[in-house]
A and B are shown apart, each in its own frame.
Chain A
Amino acid sequence: EADIYQTPRYLVIGTGKKITLECSQTMGHDKMYWYQQDPGMELHLIHYSYGVNSTEKGDLSSESTVSRIRTEHFPLTLESARPSHTSQYLCASSDPGRGKSQETQYFGPGTRLLVL
């Protein structure tokens, strides 16, 4: 398994609270991603970053924000959590390897978020 970590693994929180989901990788990957995944459903890209100080919104609109101050760290923040934010959030990073054809995304274990 790849060296990519997410904390917390599980979070139950009340509506209106501010939360930050942590993601870190020790592989020196420039590219990092956040996906949102509802139970039994496909992953949707919500944010990505191709390097420090570079962040972009993904395919699925999200009220969350991200930052990339350090290569190894890509936290996701919700300023005011709502029940509609209840989901699983997966972080990933990719390795260009020996070229674009060999590039692989490695996934973290995910954070399961429940907003009451």
Chain B
Amino acid sequence: EVQLLESGGGLAQPGGSLRLSCAASGFTFSSYAMSWVRQAPGKGLEWVSTFSGSGGSTYYADSVKGRFIISRDNSKNTLYLQMNSLRVEDTAVYYCAKDRYSGSAGGDAFNIWGQGTIVTVSS
């Protein structure tokens, strides 16, 4: 069964850091671009970042560029999001999501999502 399991969420102070993880199973992880998508309380979906399946390209939303770093360890089938200089407005459920097609170059639909991990930024 294809599955994504996020962890690492919690409470952080403004200016603080958190590292999210997403453990993948049931598919050839290294072949697929992987993304983070977040949802603030009562709000819609916001794409955060993508790590390509090959070539090592990374993409970021302007709202997190320079503060968040996406990475992956294909040997561990795990995606990460290092979140630095956190702001109150980063409070959200963070989802890990898998591209529908392997080898997508310019973005794709997300056919598998994790259950989400909650990040709260507050003093």
Answer yes or no: are A and B bound together in one complex.
no
**Interface on B for A, CB 8 Å cutoff?**
none
- Chain A interface (Cβ < 8 Å from any Cβ of B): none
